[in-house]
Amino acid sequence: MTVGGFDDSRLGDAEVLRDHDRVLRPIAEAGARVRREATQAEGALAALDDSERARAVIAFGPESRLLRAVLEPTCPVPFLAWPRLGLPGWVGPLDVVVVMGGGSRLSLAAAFEAVRRGSRLVVACPQDSALARQSASHSTTLLPTSTGDPLAAAVVTLSALHRLGLGPSVEAGLVADAMDRVAEASAPMVDVTQNPAKAMALELADAQPLVWGGSILAARASRRVAEALRQASGRVVLSADAGALLPLLEGVAPRDVFADPFEDTAPTTRPGLVMIDDDQDDEAAAEERAELTAVATSRDVLISRVAHTLGTPMERYASVLQQGLYAAAYLRIGLGQRS
C-alpha cells in the first residue's frame, strides 16, 4: 500500500533493501565501531588513574554535549561543553581539557590553548592527524581513533573520564552489545510484524514527527533522531521540550473519519508524536510524558514509542538512538529516497 508517497512493500523487498545497504550497514556496524575504538585505546586507558583530582573539565568537539549529559549527574567537579574558538580564560594546569574530532580549526585551537596553558589534555582523534600532532605534550593522553564515528569516540572518552574519577563507569563492550541487539531486532530481513524500526517507519509514513525525550540522555537522543528523520523524509521535524510541543498538539484538528485519504485534496501529513523512553524520567519529566500522551490521544495523534529500559544509562541511550536511526532509514526506503 502507498500512503503519502510511502510504499510499505519496499520494506519487505529484498532487492530494494540490498540497494539501500549503504544506508543500513553503517547503523548495523555501530557496535563493531565502538569495540574497535575501545580496543585501540586499551593501552592509553590503562595508564590513567584518579590520583590527581581536576578542578574542572572542559570538553570540545562532536558529542561534547553527550559527555556533559552523562557526567553532570555525578561529576565531582564543574563540567563545561565549550563551543567557541579557544578556551575560557580561567582554564589552567589544574583543569582537564577533552578534545574530540579531527583537524578542524576549532579543535586545533582548543588543543593549542590546552598545551600552552599546561592543562591535562585528553584527545580522541586519529593517531596521524593534525590534532594529534598539535596536542602532543607530557600532559596529553591520546585515545587513538580510526572509525570516524563520533559516538564510538565518545564512549571511549567516557571510559577515560571514569578512570580519571570524573564520571560513571562506561563499559564499551556493554554499549556495543546493546547496539548489536538493536541491529538484530531491526535487521532488513526481519519482517515488519517483528521489526520495531520498520513498524515505526510505517507509523510515520505520512506524519510530521514531533520528537520528545524526558531524561537528559533521552532528550539528547531525541535531537539526533529528529535530525535523522528530517534528512530521511525532507519534512519539518521538531525535537523540543513539552512546553514547545504541547501547543502544537493542542492545535491539531480532530481527524475527519469521513475524509477520503486517496483524494488529492486530503492533507498529506499530520503530526506524529515520537516519545523516547529510557526509563530515567524524573518527576517533572514523568508529568510531561503523561500530559503529552493525553493531549496527543485526545487529538488522535499517533504516538510512536522508542524505548529501552535496561542496562546502564549509556546502554539505554545507544539503544534508543539506534532504534530511531533504523526507523529513519526505513522511512527513507519506504519513501523511495535515494540512498
Domains of the chain: 2-29+175-334 (3.40.50.10490), 42-144 (3.40.50.10490)
Tell whether the model's pLDDT for residue 260 goes beyond 70: no
**pLDDT computed for residue 4 by the predictor:** 55
- Per-residue pLDDT band for 5 (boundaries 50, 70, 90) equals confident
Chain segment 30-41, per-residue pLDDT in tens: 999 999 999 999
Tell whether the model's pLDDT for residue 248 goes beyond 90: yes
Helix (H, G, I), strand (E, B) or coil at 162: helix
Tell whether the model's pLDDT for residue 3 goes beyond 60: no
Chain segment 140-179, per-residue pLDDT in tens: 999 999 999 999 999 999 999 999 999 999 999 999 999 9
**pLDDT computed for residue 262 by the predictor:** 58
CA distance 151 to 137: 25
Mean pLDDT of the chain: 93
**pLDDT computed for residue 29 by the predictor:** 98
**pLDDT computed for residue 17 by the predictor:** 96
* CB-based contact 322:307 (threshold 8 Å): no
Residues 6+ apart with CB under 8 A from 30: 149, 151, 152, 179, 183, 318, 322
- Angle at the Cα of 177 from the Cα atoms of 172 and 180, rounded to 5 degrees: 130
**pLDDT computed for residue 256 by the predictor:** 67
The secondary structure element, H or E, covering residue 280 is: none
**pLDDT computed for residue 144 by the predictor:** 96
Least confident of 8-17, 118-127, 260-269: 260-269
The amino acid at residue 323 is Q
CA distances in angstroms from 306 to 7, 40, 225, 327, listed in the order given: 22, 32, 10, 10
Q: Which letter, b or e, does each residue of 123-144 get, where b requires 16 or more Cβ atoms within 10 Å of its Cβ?
A: bbbbeebebbebbeeeebbbbb
Give the DSSP letter string of 164-221.
TTSS----HHHHHHHHHHHHHHT-TTS-TTT-HHHHHHHHTTTEEEEEEESSHHHHHH
**pLDDT computed for residue 339 by the predictor:** 62
CA distances in angstroms from 79 to 54, 105, 109, 215, 244, listed in the order given: 11, 23, 19, 18, 27
| Cα-Cα-Cα-Cα dihedral sign, residues 42, 47, 53, 57 | negative
| Residue owning grid cell 580496543 | 39
Higher pLDDT, 253 or 27: 27
**pLDDT computed for residue 27 by the predictor:** 98
Higher pLDDT, 220 or 3: 220
* CB-based contact 298:268 (threshold 8 Å): no
**pLDDT computed for residue 69 by the predictor:** 93
Chain segment 184-219, per-residue pLDDT in tens: 999 999 999 999 999 999 999 999 999 999 999 999
Strand order in the sheet with 270-277: 238-239, 207-213, 270-277, 303-307
Chain segment 139-151, per-residue pLDDT in tens: 999 999 999 999 9
Tell whether the model's pLDDT for residue 54 goes beyond 80: yes
